[in-house]
Amino acid sequence: MGFIEVDRNTLNLKEHPEVFVAGGDAAKLPIDKTGSAAHFQATYIANRIAMEVGGNYTPSTYMGENAFNAATSVGGRGGMTFYSSYSSSPEGHLREHV
C-alpha cells in the first residue's frame, strides 16, 4: 500500500488540485508520520478552504511542520518538545513539570 501523491507545498492532490490530502499517514511527504503532522496539515487546509470560500485566498505554503515529545527524566518531571519542518532538523525545547 502506498501513500497519496500530493504537492508538498499546498497539500493538493496532484491529479486534482481542487482536492486536499491531510493526515499524517495518508500523504506522501518527506516528514514523520505523526499525529502532530496531521494536526498541522489540517490547520493549514482549514485555513486555505476558509480563505477560498470567503474570496480572500492569497497563496500560502505548507512548511512541513511537525512536533513530538520525549521524556528526559525518570519520574515524569521533565520532557522536551521537538519541532521540525521541511527546512529544519528537529530542535528541542526543554520543559519541566513541577
| Tens-digit pLDDT profile for residues 25-47 | 788 888 888 888 889 999 999 99
Q: How high is the pLDDT of residue 14? A: 86
Q: How high is the pLDDT of residue 34? A: 84
- CA–CA distance, 4 with 25 (Å, rounded to integer): 9
Residues in the chain: 98
What value does the mean pLDDT take over residues 44-66?
A: 89
At 25, is the secondary structure helix, strand, or coil?
coil
Kind and range of the H or E run holding 1: none
Report the Cα 74 to chain-centroid distance in Å.
29
Identify the CA nearest to 90 among candidates 59, 74, 62, 69. 69
